[in-house]
Amino acid sequence: MSRLAAVDVGTNSVLLLVAERGLDGVVRPVREEADITRLGRGVDRTGLLSDEGMEATLEVLARYAALARADGARALVVIATSAARDARNGAEFLDRARERAGATVEILSGSEEARLSYLAVARDFGAEAGAPGLLAIDVGGGSTELVHGSGDTVLFRVSLDIGSVRLTERCVRSDPPAPREQEAVRAAVRAALARLPTFPRGARAVGVAGTVTSLFAIAQAIEPYDAGRVHGGWLSMADIARVRAQLCALPLPERKLLPGMQPKRADVLPAGALLFETVLSHLDLPGAHVSDRGLRWGVLLDRWETLA
């Protein structure tokens, strides 16, 4: 069996997947790791990756590269998203990653990020050609991708500059967020969604990435985090509203202690919850299925034949 590895360097987190494909053609995880390094801290305001964010991310990236090699991965694909593509000093980060981790980092466009996230969702959630299809909603730290497709075909994709970190930095000054700040987050999301097309009724919505999986883990009090219990779960609007209200009522030290919470995500999750709730409300959806397998999975599924 061949093994490959992918690292997703996001605005908020860094994710590793080492996977292998058996004779049956199914790609299965060998190792999955996640750490929150906040590469994109301050990028929305300054247009630059901070030294602190780069150093924390490079340390994790070097460790992940070593783990992938130790696991026998034949190739390592490292991709970076919103923070790196927005920052004026993104090239500096790429150079330092090559020096520290021996890895070449590709900065994905928002459109390509959306396509690859959809590919992972389509593989696991059974989009059938000719049906209303799938609607993937990938809520990141710096951007949110919405992709509608049928089967393996992407019919519409967009990357919006709204994410849990970006909206927290733009709109939130109080802890917990004041009502006016919560409404500012909602207003920013509604403004970003204003020009979206109308999606077919009956499309299967799937929420992707750490904001969505964290909301589900908190809603179900899953402690410690268990990807097997999270992936494929259903997150209703009632559950989202309940968790969002809780997040927006508790100060940060108490939010960190919630069962299912990743403590390093606790400062930005209220904005992430408001974002996801507003998106689903705008699209008149009753909730969404939950995917623990996002961009890193899509990258390997897309490139397996050329890399293995």
182 and 56 assigned to the same domain: no
User: What is the tens place of the pLDDT at every residue in 170-223?
Assistant: 999 999 999 999 999 999 999 999 988 888 888 899 999 999 999 999 999 999
Please, what is the average pLDDT of the chain? 92
Which amino acid, residue 115?
R
Q: What pLDDT does 141 receive?
A: 92
Contacting residues for 283 by C-beta, under 8 A, at least 6 apart:
135, 199, 205
User: What is the tens place of the pLDDT at every residue in 228-242?
Assistant: 999 999 999 999 999
- The Cα 210–Cα 101 span in angstroms is 24
Domain range spanning residue 223?
Answer: 125-291
> Which DSSP state fits 127?
-
Question: Residue 136: pLDDT above 90?
Answer: yes
164 and 78 assigned to the same domain: no
CB burial of 169-207 (b: ≥16 within 10 Å; e: otherwise) equals bebbeeebbeeebbebbbebbeebbeeeeebeeebbbbb
Coil, strand or helix: which one is 15? strand
- The Cα 34–Cα 138 span in angstroms is 17
Q: What pLDDT does 140 receive?
A: 93
Residue 118 domain flag: no
166 and 264 assigned to the same domain: yes
Average pLDDT for 95-116:
92
Query: For position 152, which CATH number holds?
Result: 3.30.420.150
Which amino acid, residue 50?
S
Q: What pLDDT does 150 receive?
A: 87
Question: Residue 301: pLDDT above 80?
Answer: yes
Q: What pLDDT does 237 receive?
A: 97
174 and 95 assigned to the same domain: no
Number of domains in the chain: 2
- The Cα 261–Cα 68 span in angstroms is 27
Q: What pLDDT does 152 receive?
A: 83
Residue 301 domain flag: no
29 and 163 assigned to the same domain: no
Q: What pLDDT does 131 receive?
A: 62
96 and 152 assigned to the same domain: no
Q: What pLDDT does 58 receive?
A: 95
User: What is the tens place of the pLDDT at every residue in 255-285?
Assistant: 999 999 999 999 999 999 999 999 999 999 9
User: Any alpha helices (H) in 71-194, and if so which ranges?
Assistant: 82-86, 90-101, 110-125, 164-171, 179-193
Residue 297 domain flag: no
Question: Residue 90: pLDDT above 70?
Answer: yes
Residue 308 domain flag: no
Strand order in the sheet with 105-107: 27-36, 13-21, 2-9, 76-80, 105-107
> 125, 207 in Cβ contact below 8 A?
no
189 and 240 assigned to the same domain: yes
pLDDT level of residue 128 (50, 70, 90 thresholds) = low
Q: What pLDDT does 252 receive?
A: 97
217 and 98 assigned to the same domain: no
95 and 137 assigned to the same domain: no
66 and 159 assigned to the same domain: no
User: What is the tens place of the pLDDT at every residue in 53-69?
Assistant: 999 999 999 999 999 99
Return the half-sphere exposure (C-beta side, CA atoms, 13 A cut-off) of residue 87.
Answer: 27
